[in-house]
Copies of this chain bind each other. A is one copy, B any other.
Amino acid sequence: MGKLARGVALIGAGMSKFGTFPDKTGRELFVEAYIDALNSVDKGIDNKDIEAMFLGNFSSDIFEGQGHNGPLMADWVGLTPKPVTRTEGACASSGVAIRAGILAIASGLHDVVCVSGMEKMTDLPTSRVTDALAAASDVSYEFPAGATFPGLYATIATAHMKKYGTTIKQLRMVGIKNHNNGKLNPKAQFPVTIKELMERRIAKLKEKGEPVPSWKDEMDFLEDPVSNPIVAWPLRLYDCSPITDGAAVLFLAAEEVAKKFTDTPIHIIGTGQGSAPFALHNRPDITSLISAREAAKMAYKMAGVDPKDIQVAEVHDCFTIAEIVATEDLGFFKPGEGGKAAEEGLTARDGEKPINTSGGLKSKGHPVGASGAAQAVEIWKQLRGEAGPRQVPGVELGLTHNVGGTGGTCAVHIYRR
């Protein structure tokens, strides 16, 4: 195992609005993201410049009844007959697509490629989506025992609480923080703070003439069993990322041609990917993901940077506990100290290690196959100083961390302005 034969940079990045779009197909969301990405390229880019495409998608086969959708999406933006490959790593499907795109360029075969992700999930009822997602666990053991992802991540949460004393308040703080960020992201599915959700609920109760509980802050609201019902204890509704439709598109180029497209490319200086046994019962420790630690180790080594150097990161907060584990696996905080860091505000936008400035999967939304590419869209904006009201000032080094399943797959990338 060696080094990339040549460097790779991000020269453009865009995404569709994330949300619930009953009137749009996956291919229409993809086109929306593609146009947004085209418009992000400073000096312009043309389809003739793009030599190949990689599409991350978890399971349009089940969600839309449409398989084989790499070339289908590509056709809708006029990229046929170029080579197009779908990659799948559950919710890390477009994280691994980024890596595939990097390898394609480093190989010398392609100078410019499109890397993308798409998922159209809301055509199915929620219970069927939960079952479809459960296909990313070990269906020979976990699913037949009744485990779907909320339950599996709840198991990780209770193990973390037992081993490290992580608290329910710390979990909730992750959600509050990510909604505070997502409020400032016009592409987010739920651009609303938890405080606003509480106020809306109070207004509604008053309107109906019903008694208003004496909540002194969001934390009380989040323990209210009607406002925030338990999904799988200790995870409640607002600990879980939503079901989302959306797409994201990136353009990657070899370093030597990147300047043709922009004077401000974002250099991808590290890529790492790891895997793990699926079933939680096969792991010696479920408070950490070995795939994430491996991916991070590879990416840091290639980039020649340490966790402390990272100034802004998008991590895979499919559930609030997942963000806490992620910030530990990435080495931002010691094992067991991720919850405390969230509680103390270290991961807030104005903290020492801003995490999920986009709103994360929690508030921005989680169209599973698109989430990894959408993380890179946020880092692109942050490192170029284009994140508007959620901009972290002066950041030059960013990271994305994209997990599939309960960590069967993890892809980590590091970016430098």
Chain B contacts of A82 at CB under 8 A?
274-275, 294
Quick one: which of A30-77 are within 8 Å of B by CB? 51-52, 58-59, 61-62, 64-68, 70-72, 74-75
Tell yes or no: A169 within 8 A of B by CB: no
B65 touches A135 (CB 8 A): yes
Are the CB atoms of A103 and B107 closer together than 8 Å? yes
Q: Give the size category of A's interface with B.
A: 35 or more
Q: Answer whether residue A290 sits at the interface, using C-beta atoms and an 8 A cutoff.
A: yes
Closest residue of chain B to A106 (Cβ to Cβ) is B107
Contact (Cβ within 8 A) A290 B68: no
B72 touches A99 (CB 8 A): no
Q: Does A262 contact B (CB under 8 A)?
A: no
For the complex formed, measure the closest distance between the CB of A7 and the CB atoms of chain B, giving whole angstroms. Answer: 11
Instruction: Work out how many copies of this chain go into the complex.
Output: 2
Whole-angstrom CA separation of A84 from B408 in the bound complex: 9
| B83 near A273: Cβ-Cβ < 8 Å | yes
- Is A81 part of the contact surface with B, judged by Cβ < 8 Å? yes
| A209 in the interface (beta carbon within 8 A) | no
Report A406 CB to chain B, min CB distance, Å. 10
Contact A107 B5 (CB under 8 A): yes
A109 B68 Cβ-Cβ under 8 A: no
Residue A327 interfacial (CB < 8 Å): no
Chain B residues in 8 Å Cβ range of A81: 274-276, 290-291, 294
Q: Pick from B72, B88, B295: contact of A67, CB below 8 A.
A: B88
Is the pair B89, A70 in contact by a Cβ cutoff of 8 Å?
Answer: yes
Q: Which of A136-144, A158-166, A380-388, A393-401 contacts B (4 or more CB under 8 A)?
A: A136-144
Measured between C-beta atoms, what is the minimum distance from A244 to chain B in Å?
18
B residues less than 8 Å from A25 (CB atoms):
140
Is A90 positioned at the interface, with any CB of B under 8 Å from its CB? Answer: yes
Q: Let me know if A96 and B85 touch, CB within 8 A.
A: yes
A88-B67, A140-B25 as given contacts; A276 in contact with B5, CB under 8 Å: no
Residue A405 at the B interface, CB < 8 A? yes
Cβ–Cβ contact A61 & B62, under 8 A: yes
Query: Across the two chains, which residue of chain B brings its CB closest to A90?
Result: B68
Interface positions, chain A 373-417, Cβ under 8 Å from B, are 404-405, 408-409
Task: Return chain B residues, CB-CB under 8 Å to A96.
Answer: 83, 85
Asked if residues A138 and B72 are in contact (CB atoms below 8 Å), the reply is yes
Contacts of A2 in B (CB 8 A): 108-111
Q: Which residues of B contact A103 (CB under 8 A)?
A: 100, 103-104, 107, 109
With A65-B135, A275-B75 known to touch, is A70 a contact of B109 (CB < 8 Å)?
Answer: no
B5:A71 contact, CB within 8 angstroms: no
Q: Contacts A139-B65, A275-B82; is A70 near B106 (CB within 8 Å)?
A: no
**With A5-B6, A81-B275: A409-B62 Cβ-Cβ less than 8 Å:** no
Residue A278 interfacial (CB < 8 Å): yes
Cβ B5 vs Cβ A108 within 8 A: yes
Question: Does A132 interact with chain B (Cβ within 8 Å)?
Answer: yes
* Interface membership of A87, Cβ < 8 A: yes
Chain A residues packing against B (C-beta within 8 Å): 1-6, 25, 27, 51-52, 58-59, 61-62, 64-68, 70-72, 74-75, 79-90, 96, 99-100, 102-104, 106-111, 132, 135-136, 138-140, 143, 271-278, 282, 290-291, 294-295, 404-405, 408-409
Interchain residue pairs with CB less than 8 A apart (6): A4-B108, A59-B67, A61-B61, A68-B405, A71-B404, A84-B89
3 interchain residue pairs of minimum CB distance: A83-B273, A67-B135, A106-B107
